[in-house]
Amino acid sequence: MNKSADAIIIGAGVIGAAVAFELAKRGFNTLSVDRNTHAGHGSTSGSCACIRMHYSTFDGTALAWEGYHYWRDWSDYLQISRQAAARSAAEWPLSRFVQTGCLVMKSEANGHLVKHMANSAALNCPFEDWTADTIAERMPIYNLESFAPARSRDDPAFGKTNGSRVLGGVYWPNGGYVTDPALSAQNLADAARAYGAQFLMGKEVSAILSESGRTSGVKLVSGEVLRAPIVINVAGPASSTINAMADVLDDMTITTRALRQEVVHVPAPDGYDFEKDGMMVSDSDIALYCRPEHGNHILIGSEDPACDPHQWVDDDKQYNREFTEQWTTQAMRYGQRVPSLGIPQQTKGIVDLYDAASDWIPIYDKSSLPGFYMACGSSGNQYKNAPIAGKMMAELIEYCENGHDHDTNPLKFDLPYIGHTVNAGFYSRKRPINTESSFSVLG
């Protein structure tokens, strides 16, 4: 293992591994450092791995629509043929994208999706405007009574309809999910290794080093020093700690925090094959999203309504990993939509941390310390963008290292699949709070 590199990447989750892959393809000698023993075994392994196109901002929609194509063409993106001489197919298991489609219920909370449809139409991203009758036909287990606003179980009105009905929804046929998010990070790491990228696993960073006003590497908890003129923070829920180590917080208007989340797994109702006939659904009427899960289960996550208090975590290594009352609340709120749902006595699902930015839009940016870059604040809604985020970070790093000032003249980044160019300054650490954001996991 070399103790010096062109770039050190802190974090080997799905975005960190994508950054390593994209930089390695450009000829960078990269060294990824992660305190977990395998790529993708941090918060990536707890991701719901949803691939969707609907965002409340135009730039968010553009990046997500571009990102879909990489999951669709996963083996091509990874350049699997490059591995053929060295590894058999059995040695190269791939994560799999399941295209179920994504239905989003129209509600007052999301402005009846007028903005979302306009964003998709402008980008030629396919969608269908569904009536309530269409929803009932496609999802016969659904009760379309309205229960808004979402409530906690101790609210006397919990489970009571407000007297109206869900009027319709919008269906994005290209939506879906990835079956094994940790494996997808490992796929990216293996693809990066084919270009010479190195990964140092089971090692934790204790300090960001600098010399003459520029990043010079990192120090590990073990005392070992790794040298590089470029360091990229892709540390997920630990990103705020790493940014503090680098002393780059002063000029940041957007910061990140670790947020504890619970995701529910419950069996599908008897007689209904949700894994085959279900789809991803975002339902702001009950403030939940769901998708099929292996074994004919349903995965259910919160869309962060006011009744689900945020559980911010100061120490991303020490937090409650047990299910709480929130698990039952989410399961029973979903039971409002699916009356035939059984609520099991045994709790199953995921408890993990998200890396949430102030406005729930990520930071993909340089920092005030030359050579130190950030891809953080991914808040549970950026898994789908990992490949294109890796590309954008690689291009941003080259742009800045070649003398361009991204703060005053932001990188213009091309999205090749959809033929669109975005201003990468949208993800600046110095941006004002984006009032178009949902301020939730929806981004």
CATH number, residue 32: 3.50.50.60
pLDDT higher than threshold 60 for residue 211: yes
Q: Are 204 and 328 members of one domain?
A: no
Q: Are 275 and 379 members of one domain?
A: no
pLDDT grade for 81, boundaries at 50, 70 and 90: confident
pLDDT on residue 219: 98
Q: Are 160 and 125 members of one domain?
A: yes
pTM value is: 0.95
Q: Are 183 and 309 members of one domain?
A: no
pLDDT grade for 144, boundaries at 50, 70 and 90: very high
The percent of residues in the chain predicted with pLDDT above 70, rounded, is: 96
Q: Are 204 and 245 members of one domain?
A: yes
pLDDT higher than threshold 90 for residue 12: yes
pLDDT grade for 434, boundaries at 50, 70 and 90: confident
pLDDT higher than threshold 70 for residue 386: yes
Q: Give the domain-ending residue among 296, 330, 355.
A: 355
CA distance 344 to 150: 22
Number of domains in the chain: 2
Q: Are 78 and 14 members of one domain?
A: yes
pLDDT on residue 435: 79
CATH number, residue 303: 3.30.9.10
Q: Give the domain-ending residue among 336, 355, 374.
A: 355
pLDDT on residue 443: 60
Q: Are 222 and 280 members of one domain?
A: no
Q: What is Dmax (Cα atoms) for the chain? A: 67
Q: Are 245 and 293 members of one domain?
A: no
pLDDT higher than threshold 70 for residue 438: no
| 440 is a domain residue | no
pLDDT higher than threshold 70 for residue 383: yes
CA distance 161 to 157: 8
Q: Are 351 and 309 members of one domain?
A: yes
| 436 is a domain residue | no
Residue scoring higher pLDDT (199 or 379): 199
What domain range includes position 385?
Answer: 7-94+179-255+359-427
Give pLDDT tens digits for 333-375. 999 999 999 888 899 999 999 999 999 899 999 999 999 999 9
The percent of residues in the chain predicted with pLDDT above 90, rounded, is: 90
